[in-house]
Chain A
Amino acid sequence: MTADRTLLRTAFRRGVIAALPFVLVVGPFGLLFGVVATDTGLTVFEALAFSIAALAGAAQFAALQLAQDGAPLLIVVLTAAAVNLRMAMYSASLAPHLGPAKLWQRAVVSYCLVDQSYLVAVTEYERAPESPLAEKLAFFFGSALPLCPLWFGSTWVGAMFGKSIPRDYALDFAVPVAFLAMIAPVLRTGAQYAAAVVSVGVTLALWWMPYSSGLLVAGLTAMVTGTAVETIMERKA
């Protein structure tokens, strides 16, 4: 029993350590979200509640941007949720490893499933697929520990700080810069570039459509484009 405990503690600690480098990404984005949220008109409490409810940086920024564009409630929610569609893919990819866990454990894992904790966990599970379930869970919760509370904390600090920044200090542009900084470093393959270019082109071409709804069409077209280019490239290779 004590030996088990030691193994679990080791797995948990390795999870924490693996996630630490991402603290440098999550912290500043959380601060920025807090600042932008108060600049958009949210109270400190609302900004923090939004971060706790969604725990999804990109989708939260997307919601603020669309609100600024004047999009109605339904479009804001749908588009911001579309930004999170990749979470279903993360869920599917972790299911073979964590599927046998208790329902409440899987629910907690799901809540803490963000880009960084997913990346850290899937790397670990692919390295050691035969580890016992308890160790896999311990590793996952270890990796979530430095990241998820940090998102709440940095949102709160950013929102407190944001209250004291004068409005309209070119802060409108913080969201586009944050988004582009999130997406540009992960553009690697031709298919990814193609998806990004189609996304921009179709959105601009359909900007006349009401309530920013052209963006949803553009997103779908770009996903199909990326997949098509990838398939063609695979056939050629």
Chain B
Amino acid sequence: MPPIIADKAQFWIMALSLGALTFLLRFSFLGMIGNRVLPPLLLKLLRYTPMAVIPGLVAPAVLWPAATGGETDPARLAAALATVGAGILTRNALAAIAAGVITLFGLPLLIG
């Protein structure tokens, strides 16, 4: 079990402070009096946060999974590529998950 999850105090600090920070981000402009406008440049930057953070977040887990001791696993790599490919082609998150899961469990069966 990861140390942050095993140590209950750390887990609760993590959950509550993430909740508080997320609320502050959501309340940032709605909470202010009057209609202040964000500089267009900042708006543009913020719009890229999902594609700027999430691909990097998963890349090490795709290439060097902890479950295999950090060694690249063809099934996991192929599943990741299948998820991305299906997601781009179908524009549907559930179809992308299906492609990833089928590849992850199907490929080892096929190539033994």
Selected contact of B96 from candidates A111, A184, A218, A221, CB within 8 Å: A184
Question: Is B110 engaged at the interface, CB distance under 8 Å to the other chain?
Answer: no
Q: Knowing A49-B15, A54-B18, A173-B76 are in contact, say whether A223-B97 is a contact too (CB < 8 A).
A: no
Q: How far is the CA of A183 from the CA of B6 in the complex (A)?
A: 30
Contact A65 B57 (CB under 8 A): yes
Quick check: is A3 within 8 A (CB to CB) of the other chain? no
Contact between A54 and B96 (Cβ–Cβ < 8 Å)? no
Where chain A touches its partner, the secondary structure class is helix
Taken together as a complex, chains A and B put the C-alpha atoms of A195 and B50 apart, in Å, by 9
Assuming the A-B contacts A24-B94, A187-B51, are A77 and B18 also in contact, with contact meaning beta carbons closer than 8 angstroms in the complex?
Answer: yes
Number of chain B interface residues as a range = 35 or more
- The B21-53 residues at the A interface (CB cut-off 8 A) are 21-23, 25-38, 41, 43-53
Which residues of chain A from 32 to 85 have any CB-CB distance to chain B below 8 Å in the complex? 40-42, 46, 49-50, 53-56, 58-60, 62-63, 65-73, 76-77, 79-85
Q: What's the minimum C-beta distance from A53 to chain B, rounded to whole angstroms? A: 3
CA distance A62 to B88 in the complex (A): 21
Chain B nearest CB from A139 CB (Å) reads 15
B46: chain A residues within 8 A (beta carbon): 85-86, 88-89, 223
With both beta carbons as reference points, the residue of chain A lying nearest to B41 in the complex is identified as A227
Measured between beta carbons, the chain B residues less than 8 angstroms from A181 are 83, 87, 93-94, 96-97, 100
Q: What separation, in Å, do the CA atoms of A88 and B21 have in the docked complex?
A: 11
A54 touches B22 (CB 8 A): yes
Residues in B with CB closer than 8 Å to A223 are 45-46, 48-49, 52
Could you give 11 example pairs across A and B, Cβ below 8 Å? A28-B97, A53-B18, A55-B19, A65-B61, A83-B53, A86-B50, A92-B38, A181-B96, A183-B51, A183-B55, A226-B44
By a beta-carbon cutoff of 8 Å, the part of chain B in contact with chain A is: 1-6, 10-11, 13-19, 21-23, 25-38, 41, 43-63, 65-67, 76, 79-80, 83-88, 90-94, 96-97, 100-101, 104-105
Extra contacts besides A81-B21, A221-B52 (10): CB < 8 Å: A65-B57, A82-B53, A86-B49, A87-B25, A103-B31, A110-B31, A180-B55, A196-B52, A222-B56, A225-B52
Binding site for B on A (CB under 8 A): 24-25, 28-29, 40-42, 46, 49-50, 53-56, 58-60, 62-63, 65-73, 76-77, 79-92, 94-96, 98-99, 103, 106-107, 109-111, 113, 168, 170, 172-173, 175-187, 191-192, 195-200, 202-204, 207, 215, 218-227, 230-231
